[in-house]
Amino acid sequence: MIEGRSTMERTVTHPIGDELLIGYAAGLLPESYDLMVATAVSLDDDARARLEGFEAMGGALLAEAEVAPLRSDSFDKVMERIMGAGRADTVHVDVKTPRIDATLPQPLRDALGGDVDTLRWRGVGMGVKQIVIPCGDDEATARLLSIPGGQAMPDHGHGGTEITLVLKGAFHDGDLRYARGDIEVADDAVEHMPVADVGEDCICLVVTDAPLRFNKLLPRIAQRFLNI
Amino acid sequence: MTFDTRDEGHWAALLVSVGRDRDREAFAELFERFAPRVKAFLIRTGLTPGLAEDCMQDVMVTLWRKAHLYDPTRATVSTWLFTIARNRKIDMIRKSRRPEPEDLPWGPEPEPAQAEALALREDSRRLAEAVAQLPPKQRDLIERAFYGDLSHSEIAAETGLPLGTIKSRIRLAIDRLRHAMDTDPPRAAGGSGK
Ligand SMILES: [Zn+2]
Ligand SMILES: [Zn+2]
């Protein structure tokens, strides 16, 4: 199956929320949230349209911003840089990323240095694998999780907010099914047990802004999850 | 409250001619118009006047260098500059580049795009007017959301802004791009040309 094209046409059932899109548009999110939004938007044209709508709102604010006095040599300095730049610098041609049928959207491939088949996973028990994605932010953690088909995640609560974006496969949480492009947000009020659909492994991008509290058993797994 | 978005067509034409013809006069006019607003906007978001000046200069240099990528059917000049200023500001603060959504071709479109560019400007003008006419309380909410002193869950979903129209406009543009890509001959494979 050609993932690139067909998933673009697929309607996301559980789309990313406006509050994340506004935060991204305004440029005010922590880095791991930016990664989440950029990845989700890559998989959801409707979210992209909403995002660009919020950016238009930012444009409206900029258009009617008051005017700040410029440094007296502002314009000259800018012209100097423009005219003084080497040819390679000035004639800057952006090479469009060729569309490839990758499982991971571009922002994630950039963050990880490759697509799913080239990644170095770390087992965390029960067949679950993860990769912690370095994001340089203290506020939240981003990781890629791979859960074997049919496998349940340990029952857990949340000390903060957990955002899960499905990249491959699918999982059920209660009655709801989440597939590629879908997002589940769980806050500290939620205690749940997502179960990967039987069949292929379920790969998700998960951003958490506080350590998960695993409720029962598997303390070792919990520890290894937390100890990152 | 006046919005010069009536003139968006004018600014868009100038930006296109900077991209196409390296038109210095057009650039000077854009600079005069937008540099002080970009700087003021950056100050509102918390940069010191000194940093805002540096950031603004980077933005204007970028305007020159990337003008050829500006697509008037996808964004007004104000919106395009807003996103450049935002990204530049983030890059100044962070060590690593901010992740951005997978790219869609964001380049000049062939002819039939005229009407769509016009329609986008019209929608944007309506949005800008609506922002201007919001009751102070809601207006304040929007500003705080963008200037960074509001948690985003506080933002009311119902602001009464005509965001729906602009969203469907953008949605149309995105669909058009996607279909253009579908009919493209397959590109050369391989990860060269980074
Ligand atoms: Zn739902
Ligand atoms: Zn959870």
Q: What angle do CA B100, B102, B103 make, to 5 degrees?
A: 100
Q: Per residue in A21-35, pLDDT tens?
A: 888 998 888 889 999
Closest CA to B34 of A76, A186, A62: A62
Which residues of chain A make contact with B23, given a CB cutoff of 8 A?
A: none
Instruction: Give the model's pLDDT for residue A105.
Output: 92
Structural tokens at position B186: 């397959």
pLDDT given at position A140: 83
Res A94: pLDDT: 46
CB B99 within 8 A of CB A41: no
A79-118 tens-digit pLDDT: 999 988 655 444 444 444 545 678 899 999 989 988 888 8
Under the banding of pLDDT at 50, 70 and 90, the label for residue B156 is very low
Please give the structure tokens belonging to residue B101: 């959504």
Tell me what the mean pLDDT of segment A38-56 comes to.
91
- A144 contacts: CB under 8 Å, gap ≥ 6: A108, A112, A119, A130, A131, A133, A167, A203, A204, A205, A206
Write the ipTM: 0.81
Looking at this protein, which amino acid is placed at residue A110?
D
Task: Give the tokens for residue A81.
Answer: 């840089």
Task: Pick the most confident of A23-37, B141-155, B166-180.
Answer: A23-37
Percent of chain B with pLDDT over 70: 70
Based on C-alpha coordinates, what's the Rg of chain B?
Answer: 18
Name the strands in the sheet holding A176-179, side by side, starting at the edge strand that comes first in the sequence: A176-179, A170-173, A195-196
For chain B, the distance separating the N- and C-terminal CA atoms, rounded to the nearest angstrom, is 46
Give phi and psi for A98, each to the nearest 5.
-65, 145
| CA A172 – CA A178 distance, rounded (Å) | 6
Residue ranges per structural domain of chain A: 115-226
Residue B40's φ and ψ, nearest 5 degrees, are: -60, -40
- Mutant choice from A51, A77, A78 vs B, greatest count of B C-beta within 10 A: A78
The structure tokens 């395009």 sit at B80
Per-residue pLDDT at B168 exceeds 90: no
Report the distance separating Cα A80 and Cα B79, nearest Å: 26
* Range 5-34 of A in CB contact (< 8 A) with B: 5, 8, 18-20, 22-23, 25-28, 31, 34
User: Considering only the top CATH level, what class is A115-226?
Assistant: mainly beta
Q: Out of A136-140, A218-222, B159-163, B176-180, which region has the weakest mean confidence (pLDDT)?
A: A218-222
- Identify which of B83, B143, B193 has the shortest CB distance to residue A55: B83
**Sign, CA torsion A182/A186/A190/A192:** positive
- In angstroms, rounded to a whole number, what is the distance separating the alpha carbons of residues B166 and B176? 15
The dihedral sign for the CA sequence B130, B131, B132, B135: positive
What is the pLDDT averaged over residues A5-22?
74
Domains of chain B by range and CATH?
Answer: 4-183 (1.10.1740.10)
Beta-ladder partners of B45 = none
DSSP E strands, A71-117: none
Question: Cβ–Cβ of A64/B3 closer than 8 Å?
Answer: yes
Ligand 2 centroid – CA A136 distance (Å)? 22
